[in-house]
Structure 1
């Protein structure tokens, strides 16, 4: 059972980190920076963080199966 507890702790840590990265004043820092190749920097930040969260969650879950 310790593995299940460790998995739960890692996923909870990822969730809290995601909340911090997506719903904090940090997001507002990217609001007025302009565009990069016609795409707003804020959109790039949000989609980048979202993708990173998915990759880290998949890595945590796949690592727990070993």
Structure 2
């Protein structure tokens, strides 16, 4: 894997660290729900799924 692809994964990790940090978590920590699912869980799992998909695309597309 080339250095620029590793850099993309590092940037993804830093972005995830920022999104899973306390200020962003507290923004979604409310009693409201969407189809019976709290927004907190929707936020956590949607960010997690997006992170998995983006990292898969980076690794799968650029694995040499």
The counterpart of 2:39, out of the listed 21, 38, 41, is: 41
Moved runs in structure 1, 4+ residues, more than 6 A?
none
In the TM superposition, residue 33 of structure 1 has moved relative to its aligned partner by: 4.8
Partner of 1:50: 48
- Matched positions, count: 64
Structure 2 segments unaligned to the other structure (5+ residues): none
| TM-score in terms of structure 2 length | 0.89
CA distance in 2, matches of 1:6, 1:24: 29
What TM-score results when the alignment is normalised by the length of structure 1?
A: 0.86
